[in-house]
Structure 1
Amino acid sequence: MLRRIARRWLPRRTVRLRLTLLYGGLFLVSGAALLVVTYLLVQHAIHSRFQSFIPAPGSAPGPGPAGSGLLSGGSEMLSTQLQEAIEQQQDALMHQLLVQSGVALGLMAAVSVALGWVVAGRVLRRLRTITATARDISATNLHRRLALDGPSDELKELGDTIDGLLARLEASFEAQRRFVANASHELRTPLARQRALGQVALSDPDAPAAELRRAHERILAAGEQQERLIDALLTLARGQAGIAVRRPFDLGELVREVADARHGAGVAIRTSVTPAVASGHRPLAERLVANLVDNAVRHNVPGGQVEVLTREFDGRAVLVVSNTGPEVPADAIAGIFQPFHRLGGTRTGEGLGLGLSIVEAVARTHDATVTAVPRPGGGLTVTVAFPAAAFPAAAAGADNRGHEVSLRVR
């Protein structure tokens, strides 16, 4: 009940109200301390000044003529009365000082609260601008920015940080829109092919069995392409999701397994493998290596070759895949890692256009760097550098075997 009453009648505990109360409280505490110090100093000064003018009792001159005893007694009585009068005057003066100082402190405390409210409002004005603009920004107008001006203080830094966040969100949303559009196009193509093949086969009621068999084989091939595309999309999404648990694995062993499975692919695959320990998700790293090798084999020339090597450099596991093939323009390097991007701008071909996109996504998940440069004479050289792993090389094999099996079972 008390909480409900407090929520209804008390003002909302905003930052401006808290700052105002803080300013007023600090001024009140410091003013009270200053008042106490001033009161003690004034009391000490007045007491010392008036005591110097009052003769102490019994301090009359020495022996004198007859009747000096009567004068001495009167002098002591006068001194006592004077001292009492001065003390009363001193108390009244100090009381008046205390009352007037308290009234002045109360008035200045009220003024300080009002000034604190105004100052807090001016300080938080840009914060209110940030809040209002951020509230108005949605997924449809991520191009808007706060663009705060003024001194380079904490609020300006906060505004610049939010602008950077909005820029990254805009780029992410735009990439997502392009990816969804491209994925829809790529999935629609085999579906349209399947429908066309089925309609052609059914349009002829007297079609021979051999023709119907060929049509069904083409439909199955289109379905297989869909499966490969969906599997690639799932791998790309898994690579962009991040890794919860990192385990050590030998990158050189991965390269040997992938290269042995692809001998006889029509090009010569040469490997130069040395143990190189990395950490992360072994099946995803295996897909990275496989996609690089498959891309190097696919985009090659008859009788060409693919060179794959691993090594450790400054504690980092490094993978280099180089292949012969057609010349790759230097200005096309940045685009080949985009989903469904193919050199020449065509949207047809044997590949799905996701191989290098998966490579970049898996590398980013492993905090690795990917660089690609055109190879002199044609082809491409791709280098993937994994971060240094804090695992011994001997432990890179056994742990990941169990890890790989458990991931496949799930």
Structure 2
Amino acid sequence: MDRPPGLSVRFKLTLSYAGFLMVASALLLAVVALFLLRYVPDRAIITPGPLIPNRSDLLRAFVPKAIWMLAFLLVFGLVGGWILAGRMLAPLTRITNATRKVAAGSLSHRIELEGRQDEFRELADSFDAMLARIEAQVAEQQRFAANASHELRTPLAITQTLLDVARNDPDHDTAELVDRLHYVNGRAIDLTEALLLLSRADRRSFTRERVDLSLLVEEAAETLLPLAEKRGVTIETSGEVSPTVGSYPLLLQLTTNLLHNAIVHNLAEHGTVRTNTAAFAGVVVLTVDNTGEQLSPQLVATLTEPFQRGSQRVRRDHSGVGLGLAIVKSITRAHDGTLALVPLASGGLRVTVQLPAAPPGPPGIPGPAGGQQPEPR
């Protein structure tokens, strides 16, 4: 925003220092003058010795020197105040220059202010930390945009290829072409809906209500039971009532994604998925364990990034669009919770979601008013 030019902060501080010095000096001189005049008679006293001056004589001798002293203190206050203000505002100048560089697009610039821990140092450190977070978020958004463009381009390219084949070969099997187009289009729709869901969770534009995580686990397990049976995976649920406050559809999507991920990325046969809900002082915890391959900590650290399915993990049908755990992370963050992924020594993965507990309320836990069940992403 353009503002009319005004006095600089350094000039204002200089005037403040000089003005304070002048006021203090004037008060000091006034006190001295009053103290001296108190013991000086109004008229001169003639004695055998030297003539004792009166108050008029004292004022004629004192006032000019006091004026010269005040003039000297004014100049001294202005010069000294200008120097002191410059030294005091030097860190602020560095912060301002860093802000201008950031505004010009240099997010990698840091202030790195030296010196003792004072208000300017705290401001500079907070600014550097903010820049680091912004730089990381911008880089993440750029990667996300590039990956999303790539993922969306793939089904469109396949569709274009199939249509070209059909146009060049009129005798091609139409039913097979329709089936392939239907599958590719379904994958594109799933990806688009997952991106919209991820954006909705990031904006936190949802209605909050009282939700029980244990009921969500049961609902998600019932929904995904056919997929688990098809893959030979056993789902084991346990735990206690774990009420929190948030969006029922989003938290159900979170639970469904965790169970779907645990089922898909499991052993080829005789796999197991274990879920547990627990309530502690101020928090509720949802834990999902699954059997499977041994995963390295480096690989696990990338699984919550968008479109990072894990190169070492088995991919079959129903493998999703690569946004399952990214959506879980976004929904957890939107509900002021934390998400932790830990590889199990025996193989598989443990995912722990911790959310703030709901305040005490009526025993009834409302569910959704209606609508379709969320699809795994």
TM-score category by the smaller chain? Answer: 0.7 to 0.9
**Matched position secondary structure for 1:262:** helix
Amino acid at match of 2:175: R
Higher share in helix: 1
Distance 1:347 1:134 in 2: 47
TM-score (norm 2): 0.86
Match of 1:312 among 279, 295, 312: 279
Is the 1:327–1:374 contact (alpha carbons within 8 Å) kept by the matching residues of 2?
yes
- Aligned-residue Cα RMSD (Å) equals 2.8
Label 1:30 to 1:372 Cα distance change in 2 as closer, same or farther (>3 A): same
Distance 1:345 1:233 in 2: 24
Q: CA-to-partner distance for each residue in 1:340-385, whole Å, 9 max, x for gaps?
A: 1122269975321111111111111212121122234322111111
Match of 2:80 among 115, 127, 151: 115
Match of 2:144 among 159, 174, 179: 179
* Gap regions ≥5 residues in structure 1: 1-6, 55-77
Q: CA-to-partner distance for each residue in 1:155-212, whole Å, 9 max, x for gaps?
A: 22222222211111111111111111111111111111111111112211233xxx11
The answer as to 2:322 corresponding to 1:364 is: no
Q: What is the correspondence of 1:69-218 to structure 2 with a 5 Å cutoff? A: 89-138=54-103, 140-207=105-172, 211-218=173-180
Aligned residues: 360
Quote the sequence identity (%): 36
Distance 1:323 1:190 in 2: 31
Distance 1:157 1:312 in 2: 37
Q: Aligned-pair distance for 1:154?
A: 2.2
**Matched position secondary structure for 1:320:** strand
**Matched position secondary structure for 1:264:** helix
**Matched position secondary structure for 1:137:** helix
Distance 2:253 2:332 in 1: 11
Amino acid at match of 2:68: V
Could you say which residue in structure 2 is the equivalent of 1:37?
31
Q: CA-to-partner distance for each residue in 1:16-42, whole Å, 9 max, x for gaps?
A: 122112112211221121112111111
TM-score (norm 1): 0.80
The answer as to 2:227 corresponding to 1:276 is: no
Distance 2:103 2:59 in 1: 65
Label 1:374 to 1:102 Cα distance change in 2 as closer, same or farther (>3 A): same
Q: Aligned-pair distance for 1:288?
A: 0.8
The answer as to 2:280 corresponding to 1:286 is: no
The answer as to 2:223 corresponding to 1:261 is: yes
Amino acid at match of 1:237: S
* Gap regions ≥5 residues in structure 2: none
Is the 2:341–2:351 contact (alpha carbons within 8 Å) kept by the matching residues of 1?
yes
Distance 2:14 2:357 in 1: 51
Could you say which residue in structure 2 is the equivalent of 1:238?
200
**Matched position secondary structure for 2:306:** coil
Higher Rg of the two aligned structures: 1
Label 1:160 to 1:315 Cα distance change in 2 as closer, same or farther (>3 A): closer
